[in-house]
Amino acid sequence: MTMIYVVSAIAVVLLIALFAYISTRYYEGRYDRTYMTQDERGFRRALKGKTILWDVEEAIVKGPTAPRLEYVALDAATGGRRTVALMDVKSGAINLRPQFAAPLPFDAVTADDHKVLVDPRVQFSINRDLLKHVYEVQDLSQALDTRIHSAFRSEIGKLRDEELRASIAEVETRAITRLRQLEDEGDEKGEKGMALGINFHTASLSFTEPDEFAVAFPGLAPGATPTPEQAEAMERARQAARAQGVLSLRPQQLDQIADVFNGRDAAGTAAILAMLEMQTRQNIAEALAAAGQLVVMTPAELGLAGVEAQRQAARLAAASATAPAAVNGGAQRPEPRV
């Protein structure tokens, strides 16, 4: 009888231990959440469905040594950026839902050397089948931002600035295609590329032409708000550049002026030329008003070419040249009498 009690007690203890083991080693991989496991050799597998880890060497990837699965997202409350974690470091659960990455604005250069400030948005999700590549990337946020930058810069660099303005949707389509291609080129063993383990869904972008004085200012990142001292220094630089006149224009600025005239009718072109003429006269007035300035101007630069005063001076000069000579010296002034 005692033997039966002993056996029963051992069975109960084993059963309790089995239930305890199952409860601590049971995981459920859903469509929107999964786990990845590792052993002493590295990555093991991604869990799908209800799973019990019977191998004692297999463990869930979690804790401070786990890869950093984060990305940069838009903060709707402040309009800035915030870092969002895709993995719960305590439990090891990985979020598989689609997310929107919003990297910080970055510079890109068009085919005609125009610099633009790109603000992209990319919808993505973690690929359960390629979690091995996620495991191998130590900092997913940096890798994702770098790949997004590369894709958009590559497509923007193929277009001129006026073409970019007219084909934003086409650039978005080609950029998301490029991101998917980079995943396909590195998702299998022996391929030259390296996948990130991400499904790319959609891409969008907006861009502005950065303030060249702000970009050139030391210590000021593209898109950042300048301090009052920096804003004052940039305004002085603008005034100095404007005082130099047309000769200070860079080739990119001349190309932008050409883009303004492209495709406009005669009336629109005349209106733009009139505005440029008024701006030129304003620049001349500011230069003349500056202290200690010696400026030599032609009538055309002063806006006097073709006006009535010039036409009258030309007529008087022509009349003096064609006037007949006086007879018997009549044209000589008489001597004063005493």
Does residue 100 belong to any structural domain of this protein? yes
| Run of H or E including 100 | strand 99-101
Does residue 90 belong to any structural domain of this protein? yes
Confidence of residue 312 (pLDDT cuts 50, 70, 90): low
- β-pairing, 198-208 with 115-126? antiparallel
Does residue 257 belong to any structural domain of this protein? no
- Residues 144, 71 contacting (CB under 8 angstroms): yes
Q: What is the pLDDT of residues 118-146, one digit of tens each?
A: 999 999 999 999 999 999 988 899 999 99
> Structurally, how many domains does the chain consist of?
1
Does residue 230 belong to any structural domain of this protein? no
Does residue 201 belong to any structural domain of this protein? yes
Quick check: 32 pLDDT over 80? yes
CATH number of the domain that residue 49 is part of? 3.30.479.30
Range of the domain at 189: 10-210
Which residue has better confidence, 111 or 308?
111
- Cβ neighbours of residue 17 closer than 8 Å, sequence gap 6 or more: none
b/e code 72-101 from CB counts within 10 Å (16+ = b): bbbeeeeeeeeebebbeeeebbbbbeebeb
Does residue 125 belong to any structural domain of this protein? yes
Q: How many residues are present in the chain?
A: 338
Over residues 46-54, the mean pLDDT reads 90
Does residue 149 belong to any structural domain of this protein? yes
Does residue 118 belong to any structural domain of this protein? yes
Q: What is the pLDDT of residues 223-256, one digit of tens each?
A: 566 677 777 776 776 666 555 555 556 665 666 6
Quick check: 338 pLDDT over 50? no
pTM of the model: 0.66
3-state secondary structure at position 181? helix
- Residues 166, 83 contacting (CB under 8 angstroms): no
Quick check: 157 pLDDT over 60? yes
